[in-house]
Amino acid sequence: MENQPVLDACCGSRMFWFDRLDDRAVFGDHRRETHTLTDKSSKGGSRELTISPDLLLDFRALPFPSDRFNLVVFDPPHLVRNGRSGWLAKKYGKLGADWRDDLRSGFAECFRVLQPHGTLIFKWNEHEIPVRDILALTDHKPLFGNRCGKTAKSHWIVFMKPEATP
Ligand SMILES: C[S@@+](CC[C@H](N)C(=O)[O-])C[C@H]1O[C@@H](n2cnc3c(N)ncnc32)[C@H](O)[C@@H]1O
């Protein structure tokens, strides 16, 4: 890891990447694990889910200097209620009891490691918690966003870190 301009702060299995080995990015997550998931549409009825970050890290305390990245993507877990052993929890992780504090710290850390005028791409699924409750956990003002997914529950929201204040 040298001077990659992009940080994926909780990459999971890198599903949304066109190139899961894109060398412009540092891929971080707090777990390294492999699971076999039942999947009737896959050959043999199952498929592997691999979470293999470049770096084991905690998005609440990112191991990078301030103003380091041009772009940060933050796609934290969105599930509180789903059991830890369920496939959704394996795929997306799960929020803990202190999820408000954890996500507040996650936003603060993503903005800290972004350069001034750097871009934060935030993804949230409203399966359990409305996006407005999550946006209330940061003082930064989003630029614009988009809803997608069959039930329009997934939001992609773009922020820009303001110029450093003296
Ligand atoms: C919604 S998934 C990310 C999915 C990913 N964007 C993709 O395309 O596959 C959220 C990820 O956040 C990770 N995570 C949860 N808490 C974390 C923490 N405190 N620090 C770093 N990663 C964390 C989970 O392990 C999980 O892989």
Q: Report the predicted TM-score, pTM, of the whole model to 2 decimal places.
A: 0.93
- Best residue for ligand 1 mutational test, from 29, 31, 87 (most atoms within 8 Å of Cβ): 29
Q: CA dist 93 to 40, 59, 79, 107, 122, Å?
A: 22, 13, 7, 17, 16
Tens of each residue's pLDDT in the chain, 166 residues: 679 999 999 999 999 999 999 999 999 999 999 988 887 887 788 888 999 999 999 999 999 999 999 999 999 999 988 665 688 888 889 899 999 999 999 999 999 999 999 999 999 999 899 999 999 999 999 999 998 766 778 999 999 999 976 6
Residue 43, both tokens: 């050959």
16 class by beta-carbon count within 10 Å (0-12 exposed, 13-18 middle, 19+ buried): middle
| pLDDT at res. 31 | 96
| pLDDT at res. 58 | 98
Each domain of the chain, given as residue ranges in start order, spans: 6-160
- CA-based nearest residue to 76, from 124, 28, 113: 124
| pLDDT at res. 165 | 63
- CA-based nearest residue to 117, from 84, 76, 71: 71
| pLDDT at res. 68 | 97
Distance 143 CA to ligand 1 centre (A): 23
Ligand 1 first shell, C-beta below 6 A = 10-16, 29-31, 51, 57-60, 75-77, 92-93
Give kind and range of the element (H or E) at residue 112: helix 99-113
Distance 114 CA to ligand 1 centre (A): 19
CATH number for the region 6-160 comes to 3.40.50.150
Count of residues in the chain: 166
